[in-house]
Amino acid sequence: MIVLERVVLASASPRRLELLRSLGLEVDVRPSGYDEPDDPLATPLELAIRHAAAKARDVRDFHRDVLVVAADTVVDLDGQALNKPKDAHDAARMLRALSGRGHQVHTAFALALPGRDELLERASSTRVRFFELEEREITDYVATGEPMDKAGAYGIQGRAASLVEAIEGDFYTVMGFPLARFVRTLRQSGFALPTAKKSP
């Protein structure tokens, strides 16, 4: 097994950075320039996998000697992908659609391993159900600004925790990075995590 000390994160997400650092990894942040185009013919899960892979390929071209990690999260409401809201109005629209209903959150990640051409692609899905939301709840939450950079217009690790009635599956998938599946994928690929945590 090779001890993995350092990875490149192809994302500006502070949540993914925090989660990777929690594993004791040194993380270099190199956001991808990929713009995540919509595709009405693709399922939300397919979109998440496609976007994660495209981000990994984009950044790998500049970092061939280190493992590159990319991820993408898509909220799936009845087969319709809810990505990041365009503005406050769009965020409120999404939250109204999610109110009192169940939906799925798909997070895919792609790994570009040093010396290997093919990416490793994995995905995890978790079911989330919202309480019935009052209009004031939606307005107040949107006013915090928290929904604006998050798929489906909410972050379960933040104030939106109060909107969630139930969750079935992996919490970290909803947060934006399925840690357990990532660690197991590393082990299957011959990598081990550092035994001691590094300071952020």
Provide the domain count of the chain.
Answer: 1
Q: How far apart are the first and last CA of the chain?
A: 25
In a domain, 15, yes or no: yes
Are 111 and 120 in contact by the 8 Å Cβ rule? The answer is yes
Q: Encoding tokens for residue 45?
A: 């899960």
Catalytic residue of the set 38, 65, 72, 87:
72
In a domain, 199, yes or no: no
pLDDT over 60 (residue 199): no
Query: Strand, helix or coil at 162?
Result: helix
In a domain, 198, yes or no: no
119-161 per-position pLDDT tens digit: 999 999 999 999 999 999 999 999 999 999 899 999 999 999 9
In a domain, 200, yes or no: no
CA 128/CA 153 separation, integer angstroms: 14
Q: Which pLDDT belongs to residue 197?
A: 53
User: Which pTM was predicted?
Assistant: 0.91
Q: In this structure, how many other beta carbons lie within 10 angstroms of the beta carbon of residue 29?
A: 14
Are 114 and 84 in contact by the 8 Å Cβ rule? The answer is no
Cross-strand partners of 127: 104, 168
Active site annotation includes 35 = no
Q: Domain residues for 48?
A: 2-192
In degrees and rounded to multiples of 5, residue 13 shows phi and psi of -65, 120
The CATH number given to whatever domain includes residue 157 is 3.90.950.10
3-47 per-position pLDDT tens digit: 999 999 999 889 999 999 999 999 999 998 888 777 878 999 999
